[in-house]
């Protein structure tokens, strides 16, 4: 789960990370009023969306008057902000953050993330703040300092100082950098975060170290331990089907293909998508229904997959260990009877109660295509999709 910039700054402030004063606004008039509350003569208006690259996309503007703030916000509110991370659909702007502008002396990049190779938290730091981390790593890989943290000891002061020295921070700001890095690490570990990014982290002419932007993402499976964090979720920034699936305890990721996938287990789901592509198809989604799926749960998964207008065929691939093939079969039959769709459905079952599951499918009277192996299921799904596509083209061409 991701949160907005203003939320991340509020969370990090509890751990000693300092940011310029700012305020949230839900309308152009409120944004201008917030600027007057903050005082000063220059402000930065930032669209609050879950995506990087906001500045290049026109979502971050420097303003020097109330009227300018209002005019800019008139163009931002209700608009879709399209960045390199959002895709062509963009993400809606429903709130902005008004922040006091500061005179930047130097800008840095600081990020904390999970390093899977070492199974530790890693801190990435670069003196080239304001750029996307992908650009920094590709164009200036030698500028990035990597520090792996031993979980039993945590981030030590000497490690934080080494990072500050590598960034060329002045001695007057070094202690602030140590406090900021240690605060970020505490927030990361105590709140079960998966990513913290401050870009840019800047020094000012008056010797302050400030976070001008902040991103945080959290482990969905640990949110039950942090109700104060889960309440920060903004569903308007999430993919509608992904949000709907998450609310029902399903793991769904939308993709760009035309063959919907319903699978149990993340590994099998990945293998299913790979096999589909090898057979000439393109998966429309990743969906893991998990273990112990009841017929109702399978039916819910089916409805979510079918809610995608791009789906022209569905592949159900279940290897039942904890699950049972008869439960899955009942769920598929239940969903197809309710939806009455003519989209071809291919089902491959293996494992616990296979015979009972196959019998339920056979006796349903529904046009379900059954397959014995994953490869067979993938090939049948691609063939069914192509056949359905050809039929649609033929109907469209007929006068």
Domain 21-101 adopts which CATH fold? Dna Ligase; domain 1 (3.30.1490)
Q: Does 316 appear as a known binding residue?
A: no
Q: Does 264 appear as a known binding residue?
A: yes
* 146-160, 247-261, 297-311, 382-396: range with lowest mean pLDDT: 382-396
Highest mean predicted confidence (pLDDT) among 76-85, 177-186, 379-388: 177-186
β-strand pairing of 313-320 with 259-263: parallel
Q: Does 39 appear as a known binding residue?
A: no
**CA 118 to CA 150: how far, in whole Å?**
10
Model pLDDT, residue 204 = 93
- Going by pLDDT thresholds of 50, 70 and 90, the confidence category of residue 238 is confident
Q: What is the dihedral of CA 369, 371, 374, 379, to 10 degrees?
A: -60
Q: What is the mean pLDDT of residues 210-239?
A: 91
Q: What is the mean pLDDT of residues 376-383?
A: 94
Enter the CATH code of domain 1-19+104-238: 3.30.470.20
Model pLDDT, residue 290 = 76
**245 vs 94: which has the higher pLDDT:** 94
Q: What is the mean pLDDT of residues 271-299?
A: 87
Mean of the per-residue pLDDT values of the chain: 89
pTM, two decimals, is 0.79
If phi over 0 gives left and psi between -120 and 50 gives alpha, with beta otherwise, what is residue 340?
left
- CA-nearest of 199, 231, 237 to 19 is 199
In the chain, residues under CATH classification 3.30.470.20 are: 1-19+104-238
Model pLDDT, residue 235 = 83
**CA 63 to CA 130: how far, in whole Å?**
19
In the chain, residues under CATH classification 3.40.50.261 are: 240-388
Span 66-87, pLDDT tens digits: 899 999 999 999 898 888 877 7
Report the CATH architecture of 240-388: 3-Layer(aba) Sandwich (3.40)
**CA 299 to CA 307: how far, in whole Å?**
12
Span 184-209, pLDDT tens digits: 999 999 999 999 999 999 999 889 99
Tokens of 227: 């109700």
pLDDT score of 148 more than 70: yes
pLDDT score of 146 more than 80: yes
Q: Does 388 appear as a known binding residue?
A: no
Residues annotated catalytic, as ranges: 109, 197
Model pLDDT, residue 101 = 94
Tokens of 318: 């279940």
In the chain, residues under CATH classification 3.30.1490.20 are: 21-101
* 5-9, 35-39, 88-92: range with lowest mean pLDDT: 88-92
Q: Does 54 appear as a known binding residue?
A: yes
Model pLDDT, residue 395 = 35
Q: Does 55 appear as a known binding residue?
A: yes
Q: Does 46 appear as a known binding residue?
A: yes
Model pLDDT, residue 244 = 78
CB contact set of 321 (below 8 Å; sequence gap of 6+): 291, 351, 352
Q: Are 218 and 1 in contact (CB under 8 A)?
A: yes
Residue carrying structure tokens 């056949």: 387
Model pLDDT, residue 243 = 78
- Going by pLDDT thresholds of 50, 70 and 90, the confidence category of residue 49 is very high
């Amino acid at each position: 789960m991701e949160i907005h910039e203003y939320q991340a700054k509020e969370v990090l402030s509890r751990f000693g990370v300092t940011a310029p004063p700012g305020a949230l606004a839900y309308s152009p008039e409120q944004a201008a009023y917030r600027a007057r509350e903050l005082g000063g003569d220059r402000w930065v208006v930032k669209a609050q969306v879950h995506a990087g690259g906001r500045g290049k996309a026109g979502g971050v503007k420097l303003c020097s008057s109330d009227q300018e703030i209002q005019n800019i916000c008139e163009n931002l509110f209700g608009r879709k902000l399209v960045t390199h991370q959002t895709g062509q659909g963009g993400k809606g702007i429903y709130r902005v953050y008004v922040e006091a502008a500061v005179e930047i002396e130097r800008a840095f990049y600081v990020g904390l993330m999970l390093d899977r190779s070492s199974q530790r938290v890693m801190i990435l730091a670069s003196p080239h703040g304001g750029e996307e981390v992908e650009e920094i790593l590709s164009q200036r890989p030698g500028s990035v300092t990597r520090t792996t943290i031993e979980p039993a000891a945590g981030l030590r002061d000497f490690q934080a100082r080494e990072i500050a020295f590598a960034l060329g921070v002045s001695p007057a700001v070094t202690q602030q950098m140590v406090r900021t890095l240690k605060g970020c690490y505490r927030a990361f570990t105590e709140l079960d975060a998966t990513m913290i990014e401050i870009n840019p982290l800047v020094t000012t002419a008056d010797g302050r170290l400030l976070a001008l932007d902040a991103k945080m993402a959290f482990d969905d499976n640990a949110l039950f331990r942090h109700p104060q964090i889960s309440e920060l979720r903004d569903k308007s920034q999430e993919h509608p089907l992904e949000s709907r699936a998450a609310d029902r305890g399903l793991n769904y990721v939308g993709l760009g293909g035309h063959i919907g996938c319903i699978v149990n287990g993340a590994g099998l789901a990945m293998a299913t998508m790979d096999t589909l592509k090898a057979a000439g198809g393109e998966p429309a989604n990743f969906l893991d229904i998990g273990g112990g799926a009841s017929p109702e749960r399978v039916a819910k998964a089916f409805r979510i997959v079918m809610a995608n207008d791009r789906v022209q065929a569905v592949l159900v691939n279940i290897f039942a260990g904890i699950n049972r093939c008869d439960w899955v079969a009942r769920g598929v039959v239940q969903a197809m009877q309710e939806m009455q769709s003519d989209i071809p459905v291919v089902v491959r079952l293996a494992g616990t109660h296979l015979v009972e599951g196959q019998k339920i499918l056979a006796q349903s009277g529904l046009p379900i295509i059954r397959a014995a192996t994953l490869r067979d299921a993938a090939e049948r799904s691609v063939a069914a999709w192509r056949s359905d596509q050809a039929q649609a083209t033929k109907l469209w061409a007929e006068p």
